[in-house]
Structures are given as C-alpha cells and as structure tokens.
Structure 1
Amino acid sequence: MISKSTIDQVFETARVEEVIGDFVQLKKAGSNFKGLSPFSDERTPSFMVSPVKQIWKDFSSGKGGNVVAFLMEHEHFTYPEAIKYLAKKYGIEIEETQKTDEEKEQANERESMYLVSEFAKDIFHHNLLKTDQGKAIGLSYFKERGFSEVTIKKFQLGYSFDSWDAFTSEALRKGYKLEYLEKTGLTIVKEEKQFDRFKGRVIFPILSMSGRTLGFGGRILTNDKKAAKYLNSPESDIYHKSKVLYGIFHAKQSIAKEDNCYLVEGYTDVIQFHQTGIHNVVSSSGTALTEEQIRLINRLTQNITLLFDGDAAGLRASLRGVDLILEQGMNVKICTFPEGEDPDSFARKNSLEELTIYLEENAQDFINFKASTLVKDTKNDPIKKADTIRDMVTSISKIPDVIKREIYVKECSRIMDISEEVLFNSLAQIFLKNKKEHSKQQSKPTEKPFEVINKENKPAEKIDVKFQLELKILELLLLYGNEIVTFEDEIMEADEEGQIRNIKEKKELKVFQKVFLDIQEDEMEFTNPVFQDLFNTIIDNYQQEKPLQTETFIAQLEFEKAKIITDIFMDEEKYQLHDWERKDIYVKEKKQSITQLLKETTLHLRKLLIAKQINSLAEEINHKEEEDKYDLLQTIQEYKRLEVTLSRKLETVVRRFE
C-alpha cells in the first residue's frame, strides 16, 4: 500500500501539462494547452489541458480527468502504478513492497504479463553485467558494437543464457506462472517440455512510451543459418508490434523539443544515434511502417525524417511508408547514407557535429528524393518516366492539405518538366477513382436479395431534461459558487387594509447560497444519486469556506464523479480549440449572464422535481384508505400552487429546457 501522505505529495508536485507533454505535443492556447487526441485518429486538435485546474479533456473521445486518470487511460496503469510512475518522475520517495505469491496470484492477467516482462528484463540485464557467461559473450558483443556501459544501462540491454530453460526455471522458482511466461512469448511450451525463446541471444527490451516493458528483441550471436538473426516477442495482450516504436520512451521528449523524429530500421541504429547525441530517433524494428506507429509520432511532432541504408536494394519498398505518413497530414523528408553505410555504422564513425551537418545537408523533401531516386531507373525511357510521374502524383494525392498539394504539384512540374495542368488532371482522376470506389463500398447491399425486412421507425432519443438541469446546477456551483448575484425575491406583505400583496425585493447572495436555498425550499433531492452526492460535497465545501481547488477536489473523488467534474470544468475551455477570436467571432461567456442562467435553471429544475413529486403522491393515493387520502390531496394542492407560482415566474425568462 502507498501511504496517503505520499499520494498527496504526488498530486501536489505532479504537473498535468508536464506529464501529458511526454506523450502528446502540446501547444499554448490561451491559458491552456491543446494537442491531437492520443485516444483517436484526428488531424484537428480536440485535446485540451488546463494547467490552472490541473485537468485534461479529450473532446473527441469524451475522456478526461486528472494526471493519474490520464496515465490509467493512456498507459493502462492501475492507480498504484500511476502514483509510482509520477513519484519516480518527480523524485518522490515511495515505499516499495515486494509482491507476495498471494498478491501475484490476485493480479489480473494483463498485469501479470507486465510483471513477468519486467522480471525478464531485470534478469537478462543482470545476466549481461553480473555473470561470467554474460560478460564473455553478451557484453563483449555490445562493446564491439561500440556501446558504452552508460548506454547499455540506459537501454537495459541484456543477455539470455545459452541454455534450454535457464530463464524459465528461474522465473518459476521466483513464483511466476508458466501460463504468463507462455503468453508473453518468453517461454515456448510444447507438450510437457518448455524452453526459453531467446536462448543464447543478446536482448533489446521494447518499452512503451511510459517505460513499461512490452516485449523483447533478441539477436543470435552464433553462425547458425537455420536460426533467425533477429527474433521478436510474439503478439500478445500487451505487445502489438504494429503499434510500438523501439526507443520511443527515450526519444519522446527530444522529439517534441526538436519538432522532428528520425525513423530508422534497427535497434542498434537507435542506440548508436542516441549515444552519439541525437536522441529524437526511433525504429520500426524491422517491420513495415504502420498507421498506428505514425500516429504515435504525430502526437509529438508533425515532422518525420526517414533514414535509409546506402544500399539501394529494397529502397523502393521502403518508400511506400511515405504515402502513409503523408496521409496523416505530416511532413516527411528522406536521407540516405553513403553506399555500404547504415545509420549505426555512420554514427559510430562520425562525431555529433559531423552527423548533424550530414543529416541537415542530405535530408531531402520527399518529392525531390523520389524524383532523384526514381528517375535514375528511367534511363530516358518515356514509359518509365511516365510511371515515375504517376508514382509522385499518387503520393501528392495522399496529402490532405489543399495548399500543400498545390505547392507539391508545382514542384513536381518543375522537376519532371511537365505541365501543371497535366498533373492537376491526373490528381483529379485519382480523386474521382477513389470517390467511385468509396461509393461502391458504401452502396453494397447489407441485406440478402428479396429478403423482407421489417424496419421500425424508431423515434429520436428523448433528452433527459432532469439530467441536463441537475448537471447544469453542478456546473453553476463549481464555476461560479462564490460569485455574488443580485436577484429579485417575492415576499408576501399585508397592506393597511389587510390585503395580501406580493412585493419584489432585491437581494444579494452567493451563487451556492441561492442554489442551496432554492433546492431546500422545496425539500427536494436530485433524481440522479451521483449528482446528489456531488451536490452535497460541493455545498459542504463552500459552507466551510474552503477554496475550491480543482486538482485536490478531483483527486479525492471516485473515478465516475471525477470524470463528471472534469467535463464541467473543461466544457468552457473547448472554445479555445477553434481560435474563434482570430476569426473575429467572440464567444459570450456564461459568467456574463450568470444571474439569468441561475434563475432559469433553478426554476426549471424545481418545477420538474415538483411535478415528479405530484405524480408520486397521486400514485400513493391509489393505495390509501379513504380517510388517509385527504391529507395527501391537501399536500398535492400545495405543490400545485407552488408549480403555478414557478410557471408564472418562468414567463419572464427564456424557456430553454422545454
């Protein structure tokens, strides 16, 4: 267990914008930050972070909360894991307790797989640095590759003993289940035998963006031609190779800072670049580049530089990834190394300054690179040249931004000596073809021919007015609870002749006092029990004259309630996503009409709650004896008179909720 004082210290120290900034590229938007959603595929920012309130909201998926909620949503951490991650990030001491066999038994499947993977990483790293076999074989290999001990420790490189079941036996002895060793792919189980997948290999742990161990890559050190040179962990619940980039954990901050990401092909390419001093580099680990991997980079920067070996073989196939990058609205450059060199070898032979200069001078825009590379193959062959131009136009068609497309068309026209008109016509044909294919897919019949289907005309889903009004009350309390409002109150007074008349009197109250008195006046409760609990908590907070500090208030709430509060706090901020003021459109703040908003919301809610009470009492009458019905009828009449009074008051305000 983690002590409450440690948890409090974590919440006081952690900054939501700093933590989320490790995973999403954030840009200033007024007093807040905005960025692309890490939970959905989008090109227009809908993700908002509030440093003042220490909360975030993703308007595309509806998710939101505090800093811990983000880590739980994004990294699938448990609550304690999120606290430990933040404690480590901010250098806060936290009491770590060794998990007992019973606790390991109780951990869920996914968590058990993470535990096994973490254990494996530590064992392999220990083997490399602390055992004779590891030092003689594994460490020697890494030293030959030019890796320093600092680099080896930073990337937690390891070694798996050249023994059939050395790792598996040790893991079982430590209490880890064979079931999870098999599911993570660390152990291969055949009939009654089990053996280590990475036997006799040096190990490259593959980490998530937050540093969790997802899987491993292993390189064989013998000349066994039957065995694969590199072997990766198989797909599992925690490791999906198409969604992971090697080195992203160590590169994320540098990628955001440099606003560029270098993409290479192998583990050693990443490590060697990092050791040389270029940290904004990741690898697809030998797999073909995927949309998910591109989107992972897109959260941090819109600029990717692809680095290819000097060997031209396979270069054309590698260029297919360019179109995927362009489709995501990103900017792509390409850089190749001299023949016979790859990123690893070139970085090893050159200083940081030399490597930086080379990358700056040789990184070409994709259109120039395609032209210079593909034109070599044409050899003045008109047919091949035409195919090359089509290839370039196809790439340009992937770009979603119209202005960028036109610029690239002009550039292609200049380089390939062909008219812009022809290129634009080719683009139009591509778009028309894509549109027709899309229409065909959309128009495919989903029912079998001649099948009679009875389709009911379902009415539009009815809005739950009470829910909306109760939510609006909470919003008013949270955002403006301590604001002073002036309102007219009606009091009954007898004149000199004894006639009763209503007199309007102006009063000043704080918003929370006005809401509390109005709700209490009718002795009503919210129909939504969660809203009622929140209402009581908020009112209690104000009545004790405590300042409502967003971050601490949300931190003490259960997950469901914390999400409701986050949604309320961030609803006002979403208008900053659209930069309305730059378009000379000025959104009126609720605060400017708080008195009217408060009046109409409370009156409508009171009226609905009273109507609900009247219906409830009417139902109750049917189950009462005759002599008991009189009192209930009297009560109903009183509520109806109050309902009429409220309806009369509502004549003076806009009826938004009916």
Structure 2
Amino acid sequence: MITRNTIDKVFEIARVEEVIGDFVQLKKAGSNYKGLSPFVNEKSPSFMVSPVKQIWKDFSSGKGGNAISFLMEHEHYSYPEAIRYLAKKYNIEIEETEQSDEQKVQASERESMYLVSEYARNYFQDILLNTQKGKAIGLSYFKERGFTDETIKKFELGYALDEWSAFTDTALKKGYKLEFLEKTGLTIVKRNQSDPNQTKTFDRFKGRVLFPIHSMSGRVLGFGGRILTTDKKAAKYLNSPESEIYHKSKVLYGIFNAKQSIAKKNNCYLVEGYTDVISFYQKGIHNVVASSGTALTSDQIRLVSRLTPNITVLFDGDAAGIRASIRGIDLILEQGMNVKVVTFPEGDDPDTFARKNSLDQIEEYLEVNAQDFIRFKVSLLMDEVKDDPVKKAGLIRDIVATISKIPNQIQREVYVQECAKIMDISERVLFSELAQLSKKEEREASKRPKEEQQQAFTVEKSEKTAFKKTDQLNKLERKLIEILLLYGNKEIDFEDYVEVEDSEGRTKLVKENYQNTIANEIYLHLQEDEIEFSNEIFQKIYFDIIHQLNQEEKINPEFFINHEDTELGKVVTDILMDDEKYSLSDWGRKEIYVRTKDKNLSKLVMDAILNLRRILIELKIKELVEEETSEEERNSMLEMIVNYTQLKKLLYEKLNRVV
C-alpha cells in the first residue's frame, strides 16, 4: 500500500496544469487556462483549469477535481494507478507501508510477472522490427494485412522466432527468473518425473506473430499468438494461460487504446478478433474492442459499462457464427446496457470490410445498418421456425426470456409490442409469458437469506427518504459549505436583530453590531439550533471543516481538493470552480460584469443561515400536519404548529420579507 507520505509528496509537487496539458491543449485565460472538453465533442471551450486552486472543471460534462481525479476520469486509472503515474512523471520514489511476509511475496510475485511480460513485449517487438527473420516473416505478415509502421508500434505487435527456446534463453541471461517465465505462460517447462530438477524449456509462442494484451491502464497482462505455418495440428491462435495477472474473462483486447474514444463517442464497437480491432483503429474508428474469441462475460461488459452504456456488436456475414454468438448478448441486456447489432455482407468480417472501404464509407455503413438487438434476434430466428408451431413457441419463449433481462420496465413493454408485430402474435400472450418469468424470478429471490432481503428493503427505504429531501434545502446547505470554503477564515462586521421589550412590554427587533470570523459565526448558529446537514457529503465536509478550525484555527480548501474520498473532492471542486464559468465567455471584455459574492459577506452569511432555518421550520410544520395523532395529543401538536409559524414570521421579518 502506498504511504501517506508518498501521496502528500505527489500532491505537493504535481501541477494540475502540467498533468492535464499532456492530454488537453490549454490556452491562457487570465489567471486560468481553458481548452476543449476531452470528454465530449465541442467547438467552444468549456474546460477550465485553475493553477492557483490546483483544480479543473469541465462545464460540459460536469466533471471536475484535481490532477488525480483527471487521470481517473480521462485515463480510467484507479486511485493507486493515478498516484503511481504522477510519481513516475515527477520522479518521486514510491514508499509502501509495511506488509506481512505473505503480502510481500504476493505483491512481489505479481510485479515480477508484470516485469517479465513487459520485457517479453519489448523483446518480441525488437525481433519483429530489427532482425532479418523478424522482418522477413513477422513484419511481412503484418504488412500484407495492411498495417502501417505506426499501427504496429501503437499496438506493440511482435514476433517470436521459430526456435524452441530463443526467448527463454535470452530472458534467463538477462536475469529474469524461470519461475515467473513459467507462471506467465511465456515458457513451458517440462520436468523429468524421476528427477524434478531436470527440466526442458520451450517458448510457448515460437514461430508466431504476437498481439500483447493490455489492462485498461496499459500494463501487459498476456499475449495472443497467431501461427504463420499451415500446420493443421497446431492451433491457429494461442493465448497466454490464466495467471495471477491475466484472466481472459476479465479483459478486452484494445481497451487501453480505445477507452478515451469510447467515453467520448459514448459507444463501444465489439468485434471478435485482434486484427478486427487493429484494422478499424487504423482506419480512424478508435472506440473498438475485441472479446478475443472467448464468449462474452459479465466482467468484460462491466469494463465497457465504466465508459459507456452503449454497445454495438459487429458480426461477420457467417450466419452460423451469428447464431452462436447472439446467445451471449443477453448478458449485456442484464447489465442494463443498450445493444445494437451490425452484420457485414457475406464473406466479410470487420477486418476485411475496413481494408476495402474508406473511413466515411465504414461510418456510413455502421450508422445505416445498426439494428436494435432484440428486433434483430427476432427477425433472424423467425426465418428458422417458418410454419413450425413447436419451433415458433420455443422462439417466443426465447425472445421473452431475452426481454425479461432488461431492467427498465418501459423498454420491456416497448419491445413486447414490437415483437408481437414481427411474430404476428398477440401482446397479451407475450405479457403473460413475461409475467410468468417474473413470478419465477420472485420465487427464486424469496429463497434468498432474510438478511439479503432486509438489506434490499433498507436500501429502498433510504432511497425513498433521500428523495423526499427538498432541492431548496440541498441548495442552502451547499451555499453554507461554499461560504465556509471561500470566506470562512475572514473576520468581518456582522449585524443581527435581537428581540427586546419596550416600556409597554411589546417585543421589537433591535439591530446589534459585532465582529466575528465567518466560520465561527456559522458554527455558532448551527450549534444553537442543533442543525445537521441532510446531505451526507456536506455533513462530512462540515465536520472536517470544524476539525480543521479546532486544530489549525483556519480552513484549508486544499485538504478537501486532495481528499482520498474522490466524490467529496469533486463536490468541493464544483463549488470552488463555480464562478470560473464566467471567464470562459470573456464577459469582461464585452463590458458585462458579474457581481461578485464577497461584496456584502455579512448579508450573504445571515441570509443563508436564516433561509436554512426557515426551510427546516417549514418541513417541521409539514411533518406535524401530516402526523397522525390522538385526540389528547392534537392540542399539543396545534400549539407546536402555532409556535413554529410565529418563529417563521420572525425569520421572514429578519429577511425583510412579507408572509
């Protein structure tokens, strides 16, 4: 685990404008920088970076944060991966917390396997590009496929010499351990049964061109190798075996190069093979990944769902292959994703189609021929059943089972109506079948442990409760957090109205002036009324602010920007960057001036506090009115309502409003 000291060093040294500048073209805009959003397509800049605050905000997508959160959003790194990336960029030595011997061995083993895999990638590419055999055999194969030098380097393609142990021998001479060469599957080790110390080693991928398989963050996990000879006994494609770092069911080929484009285009093209991905990418369609010949899994779908809810599956013209593949696509629907299908002409696959056509022609074909998956499935299978009633009944059950996977009820109903038309059957029959399936699922769900059911009920109940919170209350709580973060340390003059009795015993409000810091003033008012924030993140920020005041006697917004809770950091960034959107339009040059919030801070503070009280009182009155009470309790409740109403009138008077 990375130490807090290393994380603090990263935050201290890393400059948000330098980190983002590696990915986005930034231009100076006053004290800030602006540029085009890297998350959506746009012509006018909506992306703002503040070197002073060390934060960024994309006003188009609503995303924002610090350098770490940018890498997590743009590069889809995990928090530790983002820290490691910045540590490497700024030459910061990474310190790790003390681990148990078992943890050390496991971490060391994984890292050793990554290092061996990365060495193999470099070795195979060097053989391909810089040796006579590599150029004559491997490179010529890729050139025949139409791959350019730039594409070959982009995908780090390689070639393994057609020799029994050329790679293994070289790796061992370089100091890499046979243990990790074997565990990654790069080397096959045959042990003598009578004497285990006697071994023979073989290169798994000998004589094959190689396609490195990367994680989402770009680390080499394994390889796919294609044989170039016509040996019928050898598999055409061979993948690395399952290992500590490579699980083929959790990986998509090309995801590292495709992730930014998938997020930006809000769609992912799913193909079958390595060359399909590369040919599409080379033509200019970058949002494409492959399942690498394996049946699609839930883990692979979840990888895509982190980037987009939309998948377009590309099938070649082989009808038998299509029928075999569509069975796995129900999994995508289960994840609540939108699925479309494109089939290519007979004899074509994505690779050959991409090589035959221009980018414009490919894009036009994909757009025109994309079909909704369920409609596609119905029309495809209807050809098989023809007039056979038994087969047609089976198809109906199959289609209804597919529709039942869709979480959205409205979508399910629309599909039932569409399928009824295509299959020439009444909607009533389809809805009846769907209801039976739903009941079956409910029965299975009821068999789950009671703890799970109770947990589901608690979550649902809490969501309903959260939903009842008014937008107005949330806005006022946000306003108080904003005031604390921006102006909390300032000491200013306040004026308040206190109740006094005149000589005739009548109550009136008298103005009183005093000095206080804004943070202390807000704290005293909230303490006096025993107010807690209804928004959990605002409450957490507020507690941390009070803790800072108690420890350091001042508020440090940077602590929240760099908070390990990235959601909290995003909320604070949104607040701190709120006014920066005005500088995007350069309104000052057009002589349009936005009134700043710090012109009358005391009024800003008191209005926020008094309005928060007012809303809470209104909610309390509403709660009392709706509460069921007995005859005995009713008088007491009415008295409370009257008292709260009087208090509300007093607040309106302080706010200079009329009820």
Residue 247 of structure 2 is aligned to residue 235 of structure 1: no
Q: Which residue of 1 aligns with 2:147?
A: 147
Change (3 A) 1:538 1:193: farther
Paired AA for residue 326 in structure 2: L
For 1:554 and 1:432, the matched residues in 2 are separated by 48
Aligned residues: 482
Q: Shift of the alpha carbon at 1:351?
A: 2.1
TM value normalised by structure 2: 0.63
Q: Is the 8 A contact 1:66 1:554 kept in 2?
A: no
Q: Is the 8 A contact 2:127 2:159 kept in 1?
A: yes
TM value normalised by structure 1: 0.63
Q: Is the 8 A contact 2:560 2:569 kept in 1?
A: no
Q: Shift of the alpha carbon at 1:8?
A: 3.0
Q: Which residue of 1 aligns with 2:392?
A: 385
Change (3 A) 1:536 1:32: farther
Q: Which residue of 1 aligns with 2:78?
A: 74
Q: Shift of the alpha carbon at 1:238?
A: 2.2
Q: Shift of the alpha carbon at 1:96?
A: 11
Q: Shift of the alpha carbon at 1:343?
A: 1.4
**SS of aligned partner of 1:305:** strand
Q: Shift of the alpha carbon at 1:399?
A: 0.9
Q: Which residue of 1 aligns with 2:66?
A: 54
Q: Spell out the pairing of 1:123-272 with structure 2 (5 A cutoff).
A: 123-191=123-191, 192-272=199-279
Change (3 A) 1:413 1:137: same
Q: Shift of the alpha carbon at 1:361?
A: 2.5
Q: Shift of the alpha carbon at 1:374?
A: 0.4
Change (3 A) 1:513 1:405: closer
Q: Which residue of 1 aligns with 2:616?
A: none
Change (3 A) 1:566 1:435: closer
Q: Is the 8 A contact 1:68 1:82 kept in 2?
A: no
Q: Spell out the pairing of 1:202-601 with structure 2 (5 A cutoff).
A: 202-442=209-449, 478=485, 481-482=488-489, 486=494, 507-512=514-519, 539=553, 548=556, 550=558, 553=559, 562-563=563-564, 567=568, 570=571, 593=608
Change (3 A) 1:12 1:362: closer
Paired AA for residue 571 in structure 2: M
**SS of aligned partner of 2:294:** coil
Q: What stretches of structure 1 of length at least 5 have no aligned partner?
A: 34-47, 56-64, 88-93, 98-103, 446-472, 491-503, 519-529, 543-547, 575-588, 599-658
Change (3 A) 1:592 1:395: farther
Judge which range, 172-181 or 156-165, deviates more. 172-181
Q: Which residue of 2 aligns with 1:8?
A: 13
**SS of aligned partner of 2:171:** helix
Q: Shift of the alpha carbon at 1:570?
A: 3.2
For 1:324 and 1:564, the matched residues in 2 are separated by 32
Change (3 A) 1:301 1:213: same
Change (3 A) 1:239 1:565: closer
Change (3 A) 1:2 1:554: closer
**SS of aligned partner of 1:563:** coil
Q: Shift of the alpha carbon at 1:350?
A: 2.0
Q: Spell out the pairing of 1:639-650 with structure 2 (5 A cutoff).
A: none
Q: Shift of the alpha carbon at 1:401?
A: 0.9
Which structure has more relative contact order (CA 8 Å, sep 6+)? It is 1
**SS of aligned partner of 2:320:** coil
Q: Shift of the alpha carbon at 1:359?
A: 2.0
Q: Is the 8 A contact 1:155 1:205 kept in 2?
A: yes
CA RMSD, 1 decimal: 4.6
Change (3 A) 1:182 1:478: farther
**CA displacement 1:92-118 (0-9 Å, x = unmatched):** xx6699xxxxxx999833222222222
Q: Shift of the alpha carbon at 1:142?
A: 0.9
**SS of aligned partner of 2:339:** strand
**CA displacement 1:554-580 (0-9 Å, x = unmatched):** 68x7xxxx3269737738979xxxxxx
**SS of aligned partner of 2:319:** coil
**SS of aligned partner of 2:168:** helix
**CA displacement 1:534-554 (0-9 Å, x = unmatched):** 5577546x6xxxxx553xx56
**SS of aligned partner of 2:564:** helix
For 1:109 and 1:78, the matched residues in 2 are separated by 22
Q: Shift of the alpha carbon at 1:408?
A: 0.8
Q: Is the 8 A contact 1:159 1:203 kept in 2?
A: yes
**CA displacement 1:174-214 (0-9 Å, x = unmatched):** 23233322222222233333332211111101112222222
**CA displacement 1:352-396 (0-9 Å, x = unmatched):** 222222222222211221122101111311211222222111111
How many percent of aligned residue pairs carry the same amino acid? 56
**SS of aligned partner of 1:314:** helix
Q: Is the 8 A contact 2:39 2:264 kept in 1?
A: no
Q: Is the 8 A contact 2:518 2:605 kept in 1?
A: no
